Structure 1
Amino acid sequence: MVGIGLLIPFLGTTLGAALVFFLKDQINPRVQKALLGFASGVMVAASVWSLLIPAMDMSEDMGKFAFVPAAVGLLLGFAFLLLLDEVIPHLHNGATVPEGHQPKKRLNKNTMLVLAVTLHNIPEGMAIGVVYAAAIYGHSQMSMAGALALSIGIAIQNFPEGAIISMPLRSDNKMSKGKAFLYGAGSGAVEPVAAVITILLTSIITPILPYLLAFAAGAMLYVVVEELIPEASLGEHSNIGTIGFAVGFAIMMILDIALG
């Protein structure tokens, strides 16, 4: 059950990347805005219902200070992603100037595009790992069904992410379909790896599980605020991204409550 749950988000990325075999051109800009907004909504809802609220519930014995683990973990999650953004060289889709520390031998554009998506998949893998860890170690605030709901929600939002990385590699960089697919799918491979590492670490430091839940939430929210929402709001028809956000948020909220 746990193994399948850890692989479901990776499956979402892989299926999205496979669209490169069936679509000739890039995703329509309006559709891409909707998908980016949708992914944002899923991640925000997951951060609140699957991570921050359980973190505060686990700390209820602290009384009025039950918010402390959630607040501290959240800020540390933001700080961690900010650090990775500064250290890891990467290039966002549609951008011309790379971000992060650039090595003396500059990486090629394809590698930096994949690193950008891989970087943002790390917090999703951590989030999955920490909720499964909470379920494994018997915390009443987190069930296996709730953890599965998070896996499914992240897999749904990973589907467009896989396409958004593989299709530009094919159309803009003249890469073969097979290679573009491998790059797109590979960008999601970090999620199960990050999830397993998080579970292993949690078995050692169970007392700080509420902090880890909030940490994963902060890292995911950083991605939403720093990248997804700005990209969904660029240019005309930004309301399409807003509608996508609402739909994604509602679906993730329903999944969490119905299955959790």
Structure 2
Amino acid sequence: MIFISILLYGLIAGLITGLGAVISISIKNITHKILSVSLGFASGIMIGISALSLIPTSLNMSNAGITIAGFVAGGLFLFMVDIFMPHIHKVEADWDGYAKMGYFIALGIALHNLPEGIAIGATSEVSYHMGLVTAVTIGLHNIAEGLCVAMPLCLSNVRKSKIVIITTMTGLSTVVGTAMGMLIGNISTIFIAFFLAFAAGAMIYITSDELIPKSHSSHSEYANVGIMLGFIIALILS
């Protein structure tokens, strides 16, 4: 019974990512200023989560070598994905670029949600209450992550229903991780540490390659405001 309850909490924490998509599609007119702030906010969130949560936790669970290896592997993984995806050149339509950005972010968030789910499952093995608190905390910042995924997709020709589905599905890796964390109570801390750093490397790559350049392309001052706000939110949630 407890297993099912914690699994349900992990599922809810993951699915609540879709709330960010609902907020995004409810904005009728996404101006360039809103876009710059939103993409900057997504950048700040992803940098903050990586620097303040994923990497420190990875270091605490292992050592610098494992963390660096995972971080580099995450960046290389997204680099390879970028190479094999149909490349979007500047001469092509803007909505194509936004769609690619949205899918990239979705992939990074999905990778990041797996070790978060493991954290829910693993902490619940220590204490039911601790697992519940972890699930609530993760659920709260998943709303912000949902905004990161959905906003670029809103600017492309992706249907609103599809945006909600894609964004929500990025959270499903949370419940997969929760099951892993509970079924493998003493899962190797080295594995978790590597995957946390892997997710950080992937998110930093996305931020550098897609989010920051695009956020500064029209209103850099608004982008900077968004980055600062996103980092502060990540700091509070961490």
Offset at residue 87 of structure 1 (A): 1.6
Uncovered stretches (5+) of structure 2, i.e. residues with no partner: 1-8
Q: How does 1:163-178 map to 2 (within 5 A)?
A: 163-169=151-157
Match in the other structure for 1:11: 19
Greater displacement, 242-251 / 122-131? 122-131
Q: How does 1:85-104 map to 2 (within 5 A)?
A: 85-89=82-86, 91=88, 95-97=90-92
Contact persistence 1:90–1:116 (CA under 8 A): no
Match in the other structure for 2:46: 43
Taking a change above 3 Å as real, the CA distance of residues 154 and 231 of structure 1, as seen in their structure-2 partners, is farther
> For 2:65 and 2:51, how far apart are their aligned partners in 1?
15
1:82 alignment partner, one of 62, 79, 82? 79
Match in the other structure for 2:118: 133
* Corresponding position: 1:55 with 2:52: no
Match in the other structure for 1:172: none
Uncovered stretches (5+) of structure 1, i.e. residues with no partner: 60-65, 99-108, 170-178
Contact persistence 2:106–2:167 (CA under 8 A): yes
Once the two structures are aligned, what percentage of the paired residues are identical? 23
Structure with greater helix share of residues: 2
Q: Which amino acid aligns with 2:45?
A: V
Contact persistence 1:44–1:224 (CA under 8 A): yes
Count of aligned pairs: 222
Contact persistence 1:38–1:241 (CA under 8 A): yes
Match in the other structure for 2:235: 253
2:147 alignment partner, one of 156, 159, 164? 159
- Secondary structure of the 1:206 match is coil
> For 1:135 and 1:122, how far apart are their aligned partners in 2?
20
Match in the other structure for 1:67: 64
Contact persistence 1:33–1:238 (CA under 8 A): yes
Greater displacement, 143-152 / 6-15? 143-152
Offset at residue 180 of structure 1 (A): 2.3
Instruction: Give me the CA root mean square deviation.
Output: 3.0
2:165 alignment partner, one of 167, 181, 186? 186
* Corresponding position: 1:206 with 2:214: no
Offset at residue 189 of structure 1 (A): 3.8
> For 1:144 and 1:58, how far apart are their aligned partners in 2?
21
Q: What's the TM-score, normalizing by structure 2? A: 0.79
Taking a change above 3 Å as real, the CA distance of residues 211 and 48 of structure 1, as seen in their structure-2 partners, is same
> For 2:97 and 2:227, how far apart are their aligned partners in 1?
27
Offset at residue 188 of structure 1 (A): 1.4
Deviations 1:111-160 (A, max 9, x none): 885454123211212212202202312398x9653554344224224326
Q: What's the TM-score, normalizing by structure 1? A: 0.73
> For 1:211 and 1:46, how far apart are their aligned partners in 2?
16
